[in-house]
Amino acid sequence: MTHLTRAARRRMLLAGMAGLATTTALRVSPAFAAWPDKPIRLVVPYPPGGATDVIGRIIATKLSEALGQQVVVDNRSGAGGNIGAEVVAKAAPDGYTLLMGALTSHSTMATLERGKLRYDLVKDFAPVMVVGSVPLVVVVNPKLPVHTLQELIQFGRANPGKLNYASSGAGAPQRMAAEIFRKEAGIDMVHVPYKGSGPAMTDLVAGQVNMMVETVPAAQPFIKAGQLRALAVAAPRRISMLPDVPSAVEAGMPALDVSSTFGVLAPAGTPAPVVERLNAAIARMLEAPDVKDQFLKQGVYALSPTSPDKAADRLRTEVTRWEKVITDAQIKSDS
């Protein structure tokens, strides 16, 4: 009798759990089915005109078409992208607020500003898709007597402390790439930080600094004009934007594989069906020839679509990689 009573109780418990699950599904599913039924906000954590903003506007336009609801770009710049990121991290996880993230820059900030940020890059976001990357290139002022990456290394070793390099900021991907170069080359270089790529490039062209690892779109006009000399792209293979410039592998430094990577993120806790629908819409977008062309005109390579899980893996990899570079080089947010 006791055995039958326990069995009966177990059946009743299971039946109750099943009923609860069904009730919950019935209560939540219509919301998933209706999403989106109002405009979506895509927060760009930088000012208008930059790479993140341009990519965000292309994605917003295409997502509006795919979802049948307007996707509005909201520029929330400041604090190296942290203000906009925090806005999304603390937003309701309902699929109506998204972040157009500069994943490489956000990942460096996760270490440089640790203890100061009011959000956790890994825990507070649900990555939707990594959408594109902007390659970097090693450039020098033509007055520097080097024409290859190996010659630059030899010059640095023969002139310790005399080689300096510009960057657009302490935590910028450009700085991270230069630190990888410095470590791999085993040379002593002086870092000259600037507030943005514009003033850094101006001084590099003028010869106030020797070298820089800069995004290809920013450096390309100066390379074509003969005002800067390109030594190698920070990638394992040559790229279509600079087909005559050797890859890092060809130049003898395969570890110099750095690009500025961008992706779309939602607040943590956003329902999986919403994330999956966004992922599917962006995947179709990235495979469209017109989107690839629009990206490339801005110096961005569209990446192959992946799952949300793969996007999350990529974000964690970025955070781990740059944490090590920053720790090893003892980089500070103000240096």
Q: Domain with 163 in it: what CATH number?
A: 3.40.190.10
Q: Domain with 87 in it: what CATH number?
A: 3.40.190.150
Q: Max alpha carbon distance in the chain (Å)?
A: 96
- Same domain? 125 vs 169: no
Contact 44, 263 (CB under 8 A): no
The model's confidence at residue 333, banded by pLDDT at 50, 70 and 90, is confident
pLDDT digits (tens, 9 = 90+) for 220-262: 999 999 999 999 999 999 999 999 999 999 999 999 999 999 9
Per-residue exposure over 200-235, b if at least 16 CB sit within 10 Å of its own CB, e if not? bbeebbeeebbbbbbbbbbbbebbeeebbbbbbbbb
Burial classification of residue 104, based on how many CB atoms lie within 10 Å of its CB (0-12 exposed, 13-18 middle, 19 or more buried): buried
Counting the structural domains of the chain, the total is 2
Spatial separation of the C-alpha atoms in residues 155 and 163, rounded to whole Å: 8
- Same domain? 225 vs 267: no
- Same domain? 57 vs 126: yes
SS3 of residue 6 by DSSP: helix
Spatial separation of the C-alpha atoms in residues 330 and 325, rounded to whole Å: 8
Dihedral angle sign, alpha carbons of residues 309, 314, 36, 91? positive
- Same domain? 84 vs 48: yes
What is this structure's pTM?
Answer: 0.84
Residue whose entry in the numeric block shows the structure tokens 């940020």: 117
Q: Please check whether residue 228 lies inside any domain of the structure.
A: yes
Q: Please check whether residue 189 lies inside any domain of the structure.
A: yes
Task: Provide the residue range defining the domain that includes 178.
Answer: 135-233
- Which residues have CB under 8 Å from 217's CB, separation 6+? 51, 134, 241, 298, 299, 300
From 100, 55, 104, 109, select the one nearest 82 (Cα to Cα).
109
pLDDT digits (tens, 9 = 90+) for 203-228: 999 999 999 999 999 999 999 999 99
Q: Please check whether residue 167 lies inside any domain of the structure.
A: yes
The model's confidence at residue 18, banded by pLDDT at 50, 70 and 90, is very low
The answer on pLDDT for 25 being more than 70 is no
Q: Please check whether residue 11 lies inside any domain of the structure.
A: no
- Same domain? 65 vs 120: yes
Task: Using the 3D structure, point to which of 198, 233, 268 is the last residue of a domain.
Answer: 233
The answer on pLDDT for 6 being more than 60 is no
**Residue type, position 268, single letter:** A
- Same domain? 117 vs 264: yes
- Same domain? 207 vs 281: no
Q: Please check whether residue 272 lies inside any domain of the structure.
A: yes
